[in-house]
Amino acid sequence: MCGFRARPRAGPGDRGSSATSAQLLQNRGHASSRGPEAWNPQELCSDGLSLAADGYDGARVSVAAAPATGLRAYGQVLGLPGARSFVAAGILARFPRATLSLGIILLVSAATGSFASAGLVVAPLVGGMAVAAPLWSSRMDRHGQARVILISLGCLVLAASGLLALVLTGAPFWTWLVAAFATGAAIPDLTSAVRARWTVLAPESQRTPALALETIADQMVFIAGPPAITAVAAALDPAVAMLGSLGLGVVGGVWLAAQRATQPPPQPGGARRGLVLPPAGVVPIALACVALGGVFGAFDVSLVGWADVGDRPWLAGPAFSALAVAIAIGSVVTGARTWRLSPAARYIGFAALAAVVAAGLPFAQGSVPLLFGVILLLGLAVSPVMVSGILVASARAPEGRVTETLAYPTAAMSLGVPIGGVIAGAALDATGPAAALVTIAVSLASAATIAAAGEALLRIGSRRG
């Protein structure tokens, strides 16, 4: 830690081009005629040093060494002030988005004896999440994360409690659908809120390991969450499992909201927008992420069908875990490497590579070890796609719209999951698991094609502009 002190951060200030870090700090922290003006830790990197703040009032400034490589890169980003705390809070806060749909499936299927009815209730839940996530994130950019997170969590508790009461009391089925949509719409995208904190705290050279760390956290929740929810539902009651998922999310969200020192500064003076639309630069990746979400929806349905046809339904769970573990390992490797390709190029290239790998799934279905080997390779190939998509959104986020922009890839993937599931389900019913597995490769090829075409259009537009 260095001995400099800085004033509270309120917004962007003048940028010095040739001053040293000490001079920049002096200019920003001690020019009393300028009033309580802000400084941004990323603005103080022009001399090759990486500076980060861990608070507003009397914020300390840390001088980091050159970016580490390999696994040390993760230790370096986690050593930034406040990072460990908001990463831990973010892991808990992810549980509703990752497991609430499964909790509702278990609840509704137990109440009605129909998985078809459970699927109908989950559909508006996912739709609500996809529609509302950018709206909540936009309000976080404008009013600050803490305030919006607490409001959204209050709405979530009310909506989810209402859905639970309607199901348990046997209310008309259409009311379940309305309550499910309201519940989904009340779930804030706290993953994007955590990622937005990295854009403030970590310098550009440390973004890849920082955002790869978030993908690893995603997979941790998806590996541990569904089995835990299922076990609680089996041992106690589906309602208890649903409430447990909700409770973990509320604890994590409140913990994250309490950490105001690392949240991006609010931008209340931004232009008022009646309709929230994604920035043009992130549209290609967002559209490609719809297809990428379709990969996971198709994978879930295809592997369940494959396991059922082979009279081995218990193999579906290990297959899901194998993919999640491989994605987590691939994300560790992605964040530990120094890449020469741009994030957009990595997204396109690895999506195409993953499509080639996924094309082997139908041919491997006859052998369990071979199929699991292809699944592991698929996860390793998909992980750079997921990390790169977030990096593209981070780099192209307009000022004052960071959290909102980071929400679009996540929302797009949420939208794509049921689409991929429906297409794979139709293929499964028509011809069997082989055709359903083909839809995984088609979805990945579509993601690569959409991203490549979109990037080309952006380049053409920039030349004409």
- Inside any domain, residue 71: no
* Tens-place pLDDT, residues 49-97: 344 444 433 333 344 456 666 678 888 888 888 899 999 999 999 888 8
Q: Which of 221, 241, 276 is the last residue in one of the domains?
A: 276
Indicate whether 69 belongs to any domain.
Answer: no
All residues at 6 or more sequence positions from 193 whose CB lies less than 8 Å from its CB, including other chains: 90, 93, 137, 140, 145, 149, 256, 263, 403
CA distance 186 to 154: 9
> Which among 11-20, 60-69, 283-292, 301-310 has the top mean pLDDT?
283-292
| Better-scored residue on pLDDT, 399 or 3 | 399
| Coil vs helix vs strand at 219 | helix
Pull the structure tokens for residue 292.
């990428």
246 near 157, Cβ under 8 Å? yes
* Rounded distance between C-alpha atoms, residue 158 and residue 75, angstroms: 39
Listing DSSP states for 52-78 in one string gives EES-STTEEEEEE-SPP-TTHHHHHHH
Q: Alpha-carbon distance 123 to 299, whole Å? A: 17
Does residue 348 carry a pLDDT above 60?
yes
Average pLDDT value over all residues in the chain: 80
- Check whether residue 26 and residue 139 sit in a common domain: no
Helix or strand holding residue 50 (H, E): strand 50-53
Which residue's entry shows tokens 């609010």?
Answer: 266
166 and 22 in one domain? no
Q: Do both 136 and 123 map to the same domain?
A: yes
Rounded Cα distance, 37 and 31, in Å: 9
Which pLDDT band, with edges at 50, 70 and 90, does 309 fall under?
Answer: confident
Q: Give the whole-angstrom CA distance, residue 244 versus residue 264.
A: 30
CA 219 to the chain's CA centroid: 10
Do 303 and 272 lie in one domain? The reply is no
Using DSSP's 3-state secondary structure scheme, residue 5 falls into strand
Ramachandran area for residue 113 (φ above 0: left; ψ -120 to 50: alpha; else beta): left
Give me the number of domains the chain comprises: 3
All residues at 6 or more sequence positions from 261 whose CB lies less than 8 Å from its CB, including other chains = 53, 54, 55, 56, 59, 81, 82
Within this chain, do residues 35 and 158 fall inside the same structural domain, yes or no? no
Q: How open is the CA angle 329-330-331, to the nearest 5 degrees?
A: 90
- Per residue in 196-253, pLDDT (tens digit) is 898 888 888 888 888 888 888 887 887 778 778 878 888 888 899 899 989 999 999 9
Q: Residue 361 is part of a domain; what is its CATH number? A: 1.20.1250.20
263-288 mean pLDDT: 76
Q: Residue 209: inside a domain, yes or no?
A: yes
Find which of 26-30, 193-197, 221-225, 401-405 is predicted with most confidence, using mean pLDDT. Answer: 193-197
Cβ 41 vs Cβ 89: under 8 Å: no
Residues 177 and 51 in one domain: no
| Angle subtended by helix axes 95-112 and 145-168, to nearest 10 | 10
Domain range for residue 137?
82-276
Tell me the CA end-to-end span of the chain in Å, nearest whole number: 45
Q: Where do we find the tokens 């109908």?
A: 120
> In which element (H, E) is residue 441 found?
helix 433-464
Same domain? 179 vs 221 = yes
Q: Are residue 357 and residue 269 in the same domain, yes or no?
A: no
Q: Running DSSP on this structure, what letter comes out for residue 315? A: G
Q: Which of 1-15, 124-138, 248-262, 265-279 has the highest mean pLDDT?
A: 248-262
CB 430 within 8 A of CB 421: no
Q: How confident is the model at residue 175 (pLDDT cuts 50, 70, 90)?
A: very high
The DSSP result for 20-36, as a single string, is -HHHHHHHHHS-GGG-S
Co-location of 91 and 11 in the same domain: no
Residues 349, 227 within the same domain: no
Domain identity same for 322 and 243: no
Supply the DSSP symbol for 80. Answer: S
Give the residue with greater pLDDT, 20 vs 290.
290
Average pLDDT over residues 2-17: 38
Give the contacts of 207 (CB within 8 A, at least 6 positions apart).
198, 199, 391, 394
Q: Which helix (H) or strand (E) holds 6?
A: strand 5-6
**268 and 284 part of one domain:** no
Quote the percentage of the chain above a pLDDT of 90.
33
Give the lowest-confidence range in 151-155, 158-162, 418-422.
418-422
Find, among 374, 300, 251, 272, the residue nearest to 126 by Cα: 300
Please give the pLDDT value at position 300.
Answer: 83
70 occurs within a structural domain: no
Answer yes or no: is 72 within a domain: no
Separation of alpha carbons 66 and 49, rounded Å: 8
Per residue in 441-450, pLDDT (tens digit) is 999 999 999 9
- Confidence (pLDDT) at 274: 54
pLDDT at 405: 87
pLDDT for 435: 92
